Amino acid sequence: MRIVTQLERTLMAPDPVRALRELRVLRAELDALERERVRAALDSGASFAAVARGLGITRQAAHRRYRHLTAEPPRLVATPDALALLQRARHEAARLGSATVEPEHVALAHASPGPRPHGGTPPAALGRVFFDALARVGAPIGVGELLRVAAQDPRASEVLQRRARPGVERGVLDPEPF
């Protein structure tokens, strides 16, 4: 809908210079929409040739322009509080000898807030299943989202339930669709 509103602004601008500025903003929004649609098409299994036909360009041009949409994993954006919790979870994972940060480490870090525990080199990566679950959340990821995703893991859920006290952090673990 933003594109429709931006198109209206572009068409209704009384000043030609202002209309040009509005047109530049409209182009940027259309480019972003095109990238989203190409990503969705590629994620659903469409080939670069099919994408190219839809855009009216060659397969090579489509691949050159959009290959990065499939080559790089999604980036997770988190709030400062969520990042602090993930840092503590990294150290919990290191303390337990895990190569990746898993939901149980988030639960342990949440259950014992405070200074980071010592021991080992913290892992730099999230576990694949945990990463994928967080990627479906969207951005930004807050502490509540981290805890909801972690609560889906049985080991983490047990730790979180032990920590929950009546009247404290109510609703944090309520399941919500992503």
Per-residue confidence of the chain (178 residues) as pLDDT tens digits? 677 787 788 888 888 888 888 888 888 888 888 989 998 998 888 999 999 999 999 999 998 888 878 765 667 778 888 888 888 999 888 888 888 889 999 999 988 866 655 555 667 788 888 887 787 776 678 888 888 888 888 888 888 777 654 443 433 322 332 2
Is the Cβ–Cβ distance between 121 and 93 less than 8 Å? no
Half-sphere exposure of 65 toward its Cβ, with a 13 Å CA cutoff? 18
pTM over 0.85: no
Q: How far apart are CA 109 and CA 124, in angstroms?
A: 16
Q: Enter the tokens of residue 113.
A: 């807030």
CA separation, residue 67 to residues 27, 38, 57 (Å)? 21, 10, 14
What was the pLDDT predicted at 115? 63
What was the pLDDT predicted at 174? 28
- Helix residue ranges per DSSP H, 44-170: 48-55, 59-66, 68-71, 80-95, 103-111, 128-137, 143-151, 154-163
What was the pLDDT predicted at 54? 95
Q: Which residues make beta-bridge pairs with 77?
A: none
Q: Which residues make beta-bridge pairs with 126?
A: 101
Residue with tokens 């303390």: 95
What was the pLDDT predicted at 117? 55
